[in-house]
C-alpha cells in the first residue's frame, strides 16, 4: 500500500490531468497540506479518495476536487487577507494559508475562518496546530453569515456551506477589487457563484453545480 505522501501525489496528478487544478500555486498547496491530518482517525485510510468525509456533528470535509475548484476560482494571492465561512476541519483554511501567508515575505497574508459549531472549531484548531498552519490562521466561533467585521475589508471571501443568497454583510466586508466564491441554491443543490466587487457594485458569474451542507445563520438558513 502506498504511503500518504504517494497517495497525495497521485491525487494531485489526477486533479491536474482532469483540468481541475490548473495553477502552480494550487498544485503546490495541495502537495504541501496533509489531508490525512484533517480527517477523524477512523477515516484516515480514505483521506485521498476524491469525496467528502464525515467530520462529526453532521458536517463534512469537502471533496478534494471541490476544494481545488473553489481555490482556483478564488485566485488567492500571497499577502491576501482571506475570510473563510465554514471552517469544518480546517483543511481549506490550511490550503489558503499555504498560498497567502506561508510564502508571503510581507507578513500581511492571513486567513480568518469562522465556524458556528464550537467543537468543530476546536477540531480545526488542533489540526492546524499539529500541521503548523495555526500561525497563519485565526479560528473564530460564530455566525459567519455576519462576516467578521473586526478584520474587514478582505481581499478574498470563501463560503464553504450552501447559502440561500449572498449574505449582505459579506459583500460589505469584501474590498473593492476583491473576490468571493459562494455556493448558492437550495438544500438539494447549488451553483458556485464567483462574485467580483467593483466600484459600481458586484458582478456575479455562475460557475459549476455543487452540493454543500447548509449555511445556518442570520443571513443563511434557519437552525
- Cell reading at 212: 454543500
Pick the closer one to ligand SAM by CB: 87 or 109: 87
Contacts to ligand SAM from residues 114-133, by CB under 6 A: 114-117, 120
Contacts to ligand SAM from residues 193-222, by CB under 6 A: 212-213, 215-217, 220
Question: Is 62 known to be catalytic?
Answer: yes
Side-by-side strand order, sheet with 189-198? 137-141, 110-115, 81-85, 154-159, 174-186, 189-198, 201-210
Strand extents, DSSP E, the chain: 53-56, 59-61, 81-85, 110-115, 137-141, 154-159, 174-186, 189-198, 201-210
Q: Is 163 in the site for ligand SAM (CB under 6 A)?
A: no
- Cell reading at 61: 470535509
The whole-angstrom separation of Cα 190 and Cα 192 is 7
Binding mask 71-110 for ligand SAM (x = CB under 6 A): --------------xx-xx-xx------------------
Residues that bind ligand SAM (CB under 6 A): 59-62, 85-86, 88-89, 91-92, 114-117, 120, 143-145, 160-161, 212-213, 215-217, 220
Q: What residues are annotated to the active site?
A: 62
Amino acid at each position: 500500500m502506498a504511503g500518504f505522501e504517494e497517495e497525495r501525489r497521485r491525487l494531485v496528478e489526477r486533479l491536474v490531468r482532469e483540468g481541475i487544478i490548473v495553477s502552480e500555486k494550487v498544485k503546490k498547496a495541495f502537495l504541501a497540506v496533509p489531508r490525512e491530518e484533517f480527517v477523524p482517525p477512523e477515516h484516515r485510510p480514505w483521506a485521498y479518495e476524491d469525496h467528502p468525509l464525515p467530520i462529526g456533528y453532521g458536517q463534512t470535509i469537502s471533496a478534494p476536487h471541490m476544494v481545488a475548484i473553489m481555490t482556483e476560482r478564488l485566485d488567492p494571492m500571497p499577502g491576501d487577507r482571506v475570510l473563510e465561512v465554514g471552517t469544518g476541519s480546517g483543511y481549506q483554511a490550511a490550503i489558503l494559508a499555504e498560498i497567502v501567508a506561508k510564502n508571503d515575505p510581507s507578513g500581511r497574508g492571513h486567513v480568518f475562518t469562522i465556524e458556528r459549531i464550537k467543537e468543530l472549531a476546536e477540531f480545526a484548531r488542533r489540526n492546524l496546530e499539529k500541521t503548523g498552519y495555526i500561525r497563519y490562521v485565526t479560528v473564530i466561533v460564530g455566525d459567519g453569515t455576519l462576516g467578521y467585521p473586526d478584520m474587514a475589508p478582505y481581499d478574498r471571501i470563501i463560503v464553504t456551506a450552501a447559502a440561500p443568497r449572498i449574505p449582505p454583510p459579506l459583500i460589505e466586508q469584501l474590498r473593492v477589487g476583491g473576490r468571493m466564491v459562494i455556493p448558492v441554491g437550495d438544500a438539494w443543490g447549488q451553483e458556485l457563484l464567483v462574485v467580483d466587487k467593483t466600484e459600481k457594485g458586484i458582478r456575479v458569474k455562475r460557475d459549476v453545480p455543487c452540493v454543500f451542507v447548509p449555511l445556518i445563520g442570520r443571513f443563511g438558513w434557519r437552525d
